[in-house]
Amino acid sequence: MKRSLWLALIVVLVAGNLFIAPTGPDPVGAADAASATGDAALLQIPGLKAVLIVGPIDGGSGAWTQQEMANMELAASFLEAQGVTVHRFYAPQDDWQAIVAAARDAQFLLYRGHGAAWNSLPDVGGFKLTSGMVAPDQIVRDLALAPDAIVMMYACYSAGSSGAETADIGLAEARRRVGQYSAPFLDLGIAGYYANWHGDAFEQFLRLLFTGQSLGDAYKSYFDFNPETAQPFTHPDEPNVTGWLDKNNWRGYWQYSNTFVGASDATLLDLFGTAELGGMPERLRFVYSTSEGRYLTDTYTVVPRNVASSLSIAWSLDVAADWISVTRTSGTTSDHTFTVTPNLTSPSRTRTYAGTLTVSSATTGESQQIALELSVTDGAFARTYLPLTTALRDR
């Protein structure tokens, strides 16, 4: 079923810039189609984060906007069932700065709303939020997604065609538009860009990805892919980035409405599933000079990291030394560091103290020990004790 005629086109004109929402399939998309994943086992990858944005299409409380919120909730519910942390920004609660903060290190960014055409077309790209437009250069400047993130779009121009058009725009123009719309996200280092007009497309793409399918196979497994109409795509600005442009004939002419570009052969496990705890020093050495009455080396910041991928690793810290203090004993690699400081006040006797810190991860089952050493000296050799360069020193 197509949307009724009065809903077939919503246009917002701001200072010569055009914002249009897609038209074509029923807003619930393929909700009545069988799930593409069946009973396949789904991946559980800890530490993933998603940012979901629904802009105002016919106002923050309009029927179409509400429908797209419901469609986005299909994806939100699925992601949360897989343990993904979901941040929702639905109009009018779609402040750009709040989105930017939440999107830091996010593996998924999903948007449903108006597409943007600049300079009265031909330039396209960006978001339409309650507060106004977000241009492609703002996306590049402000967003800091996780490496190899995945972006999904429901917006005019994002897959090629616009709901305002009444004729086939042609493959060359569709390629140009998709190239522009995906460019800022590719500049951010994403691995996959999906654009589709069906209501359940985001949920189904995600469900297919979480069965272990590659990014390209997930695109081709969704019912809206037609091998007879899909065209291979090479990004006009990134010759190593490829994919497909597909089209539908809903209104008596072809509309480009189903697109994927990115790392076709990569899976979620390839992108986010590898984890290795590391990035920490093997030893921390502290020095106290009795002749100077002060610590010559005193405080270090330790940065646990996942050295294999962008996956956030939860870690905990066990301290086996009663002469040091630490600022925290648990955290995640994406958000937390800890500092180590001797807590002995004016030690007077020349001696060496020893101990260990053990950083462990339930995510990977790994642990790493950091040897601790405090040398109390009269100052003659104090400056020969230096920390390893893999620790950050606070002075």
**pLDDT tens digit string along 16-58?**
566 677 876 654 444 444 455 554 578 878 889 999 999 999 9
Give the mean model confidence (pLDDT) for residues 337-359.
91
Domain ranges of the chain: 5-273, 277-394
Give the mean model confidence (pLDDT) for residues 130-159.
96
- What does the pLDDT look like over 304-341, one tens digit per residue? 998 887 777 889 999 999 999 999 999 988 788 999 99
User: How does residue 387 score in pLDDT terms, banded at 50, 70 and 90?
Assistant: very low
Over the chain, what HEC string results?
CCCCHHHCCCEEEECCEEEECCCCCCCCCCCCCCCCCCCCCCCCCCCCEEEEEECCCCCCCCHHHHHHHHHHHHHHHHHHHCCCEEEEEECCCCCHHHHHHHHCCCCEEEEECCEEEECCCCEECCEEECCEEECHHHHHHHCCCCCCCEEEEECCCCCCCCCCCCCCCCHHHHHHHHHHHHHHHHHCCCCEEEEECCCCHHHHHHHHHCCCCCHHHHHHHCCCCCCCCCEEEECCCCCCCEEEEEEEECCCCEEEEEEEEECCCCCHHHHHHCCCEECCCCEEEEEEECCCCEEEECEEEECCEECCCCCCCEEEEEEECCCEEECCCEEECCCCCEEEEECCCCCCCCEEEEEEEEEECCCCCCEEEEEEEEEEECCCCHHHCCCCCCCEEEC
pLDDT at 14 exceeding the cut of 60: no
The pTM score is 0.69
- What does the pLDDT look like over 262-302, one tens digit per residue? 999 999 988 988 888 998 999 999 999 988 889 988 899 99
The span from the CA of 227 to the CA of 197, in Å, is 18
5-273 under CATH 3.40.50, yes or no: yes
For 277-394, CATH number out of 2.60.40.10, 2.70.98.60, 3.30.1240.10, 3.40.630.30 equals: 2.60.40.10
pLDDT in the model for residue 38 = 53
pLDDT at 168 exceeding the cut of 60: yes
